Amino acid sequence: MAPQQPSTSQYVLTLSCPDKQGIVHAVSSYLFRTGCNIIDSQQFGDGSAPDGEGLFFMRVHFSAEAPVTAEKLRASFAATGDAFRMDWQIHPSSERTRMLLLVSKFGHCLNDLLFRASSGALPVDVVGVVSNHTDFRELAASYGVPFHHIPVTADTKSEAEAALLELVDREQVDLVVLARYMQVLSDNLCKQLEGRAINIHHSFLPSFKGAKPYHQAHARGVKLIGATAHYVTAQLDEGPIIEQEVVRVRHDVTPERLVALGRDVECQALARAVKWHAEHRVLLNGSRTVVFT
């Protein structure tokens, strides 16, 4: 009988810390000592900090043989993390992100994410759809996803947000995605969801705010439209950008076609942002992000 091969598992280590000599050596030496094998490694040193102290970012995809576990890896890596003042995490590659989708009246991003998740294109489990309307109850049901109707008015906003947070806690949600959820979140809710909520909106149209931005853009003859996916912060639509997508348009494109093109790029940008977040490829760098793709 052939000898049984040891079982292996894969993990992702992400870290950020003040930049100094020896970080890569310390990480690779740690992985070598613990019997791990590096599959892929990416790093970036950002020397643009105004105080002169550069920051270093790293993502390492590695394998480890049993009986190593994520808990054991975290415990044994803590000393290295402390030595370099690292903000670090270790996740099993097989760990799937538990995602909650929020939507209002426009369902293109919702439908796109539900399809990508169900087809295996996204490493996520959609644990629910929340809406302040009931339009997409049947769409959620067609994917076997629970639908939660949480109406919002000026008088019930705080109660609605409390119900949303209770759902996030109960379902152990890792990521909240505002898939065209047309409600402004309170500062408190933004703080509660910091670093784990992503929004999508049209971009490259700074002069065309308010109702029907694409119609306004058409009236001005724009030649470029796009979308921005970013983390949610208390500053409306100004959170750290994860991904952007653009498309060129001709003079003969109608306002209705602009809207359709805008919806397409919104879906593309949001899907990539969700995928990269779920794969632990996005590291926060103040008001910016480092994205290892």
Q: Which residues are catalytic?
A: 237
- Quote the crossing angle between the two packed helices 108-118 and 255-278, to the nearest 10°: 40
Strands 175-178 and 97-103: parallel
Helix (H, G, I), strand (E, B) or coil at 40: strand
Whose structure tokens read 């794969």? Answer: 279
The answer to whether 94 and 10 are in contact (CB under 8 A) is yes
**Beta carbons within 10 angstroms of residue 33's beta carbon:** 9
The answer to whether 194 and 215 are in contact (CB under 8 A) is no
Q: Where are the beta strands (DSSP E) in the chain?
A: 8-18, 37-46, 55-65, 87-92, 97-103, 124-131, 147-149, 175-178, 197-203, 224-231, 241-248, 282-285, 288-291
- Quote the crossing angle between the two packed helices 70-83 and 23-33, to the nearest 10°: 150
Residues in the chain: 293
For residues 13 and 227, what is the distance between their CA atoms, to the nearest angstrom? 30
Of 174, 288, 187, the C-alpha closest to 239 is: 288
